[in-house]
Structure 1
Amino acid sequence: MIPFSDLARAAYCPRQLYYARRADDRNVPGEARARIDLAFRYPTLVDASDATLRRLPIRRSPAAYRRNLSRLRERADYERLTDPEHERVFRSGKDCHGTVHKVFAAGTDSDPPVPTVVSPGEPPENGVWESQAVRAVAVAKAVAWEREREVPRALIEYPSVGTVREVQLTTRKKAAYRRALRAVHAIDGPPSRVDDDRCSACDYRDRCGTGRRSFRSLLG
């Protein structure tokens, strides 16, 4: 059974997952945990003072952050976002398991449960990062397995920004999920290096050996 976090790492870079496993490094850093906690405080933060917001690990100015939270209040699912059926619950599906940050209650047959993944980071300009989309698919599949019903979408919250994005379980996203599963199962030694923009932000770049090739060698 694969942890959600391992699957997301594999979608980002299988070699990164290899080194994280060797280091037994699956703990969420303290600042990241503080940003995740913001997702459970929207109602108290939307009207918070500048001084209060400046003491928090938000990624926007206080004024911009309040504007983003005000837009969140306009969402049809805002009440479920701030008062979900479940918070921080463990869920296990056929392939993956881990913590689901929130699960919205199901309504009718046309209103299935909606799980959320809370990210401490920045969203891309549009949509979500692929590794987060893979994690969202895994979470949705785990909830679907538990509920024995289809869960066609999930949400990704970026609470340090005050933004929520939707992930539909499209054919393309489910294919990315399956590729990540195969990548995890294939790891029995260091996977191939990727040597691209991902490496500069990786905690394992020094031991991995990426970024050490000369410019001439990159040109062949």
Structure 2
Amino acid sequence: MHSFSDLALAVYCPRKLYYRREDDRDVPADVERRRALAFEYGTLLDADDALLRSHPIAVSPDEFRTNLSHARGRLERWSEIAEPPHRDVLLTGRECRGIAHKLLEGPPAPSIVSAGRPPENGVWEPQSVRAVAAAKALAWERSTPVETAFVEYPAYGTIRRMDISTRRKALYRRAIRTVEAIDGSPPRLADDGKCTACEYRDRCGVRTRSLRSLLGI
């Protein structure tokens, strides 16, 4: 049984997944603090600058309020997102299991909360795979189709609705194959930007190059 987080890491970097499996570390405190913002939207939406700056937001107070206001106006299920009927729900499907940070009802839909930065449009592939995994597990438990999911980037006040499309399902299937194929350490990435901030960089042995060296300066 694969975990949602393993599938997300398999898309991001299989080698990082290999090291993470050997390293039973807790979720960093700063990640937990950022995720906690997803359960305070009602308060934060009307908060003044001083209160917002006391929270781990990643943009200016004005930008944060603007982003969150747009989400409230755009999302039909805003009330459930802001005050979810269920939170931190363990879902177990046919192939994978893991935590949906929020679970909406009528129709059922999972929401995954990310501590990171949102892309300009849509969601990053690791969060897409995680959301599809949660939707599939929820569908398996409820014996009903789950057609949509949400991905939240609360430090930016950004919430994205995503369809469980054929393309996203194919990415999920690729992640399943990657996880099942890992037997020993996967190849290193080739000077990828992902390596710079990776906590396993020293153990992995990937050499990252500065902008000056890449430009031959």
TM-score w.r.t. the length of structure 2 is: 0.91
Work out whether 1:154 is the aligned partner of 2:160. Answer: no
Judge which range, 45-54 or 203-212, deviates more. 203-212
What SS is found at the alignment partner of 1:201? coil
- What does residue range 155-170 of structure 1 map to in structure 2 within 5 Å? 155-170=150-165
Q: Specify the alignment match of 1:208 in structure 2.
A: 204
SS in 2 for 1:81: helix
3-state SS of 2:156 partner? coil
| Residue of structure 1 equivalent to 2:83 | 83
Residue of structure 2 equivalent to 1:115: 110
SS at match of 1:139: helix
Q: Deviations over 1:14-60 (max 9, x none)?
A: 110001111223x2110110010000010011111111111110011
2:196–2:208 CA contact under 8 A, matched in 1: no
User: Structure 1, residues 41-80: CA drift from partner, whole Å, max 9, x if none?
Assistant: 1001111111111111001111111112222221321111
Deviation at 1:212, TM superposition (A): 6.3
Which residue in 1 is equivalent to 2:49? 50
Q: How many residues align?
A: 209
Letter in 2 for 1:60: V
Who is 1:129 aligned against?
A: 124
Aligned-pair Cα RMSD in Å: 1.7
Of all paired residues, the percent bearing the same amino acid is 53
After superposition, give the CA deviation of every residue in 1:66-106 in whole Å (9 maximum; x if it has no partner).
11222222132111112222111111111111111111111
Q: Report the AA paired with residue 180 of structure 2.
A: H
With normalisation by structure 1, the TM-score equals 0.90
Consecutive unaligned residues in structure 1, runs of 5 or more: 107-111, 214-220
Question: Runs of 4+ in structure 1 displaced over 4 angstroms?
Answer: none
Letter in 1 for 2:202: D
SS in 2 for 1:9: helix
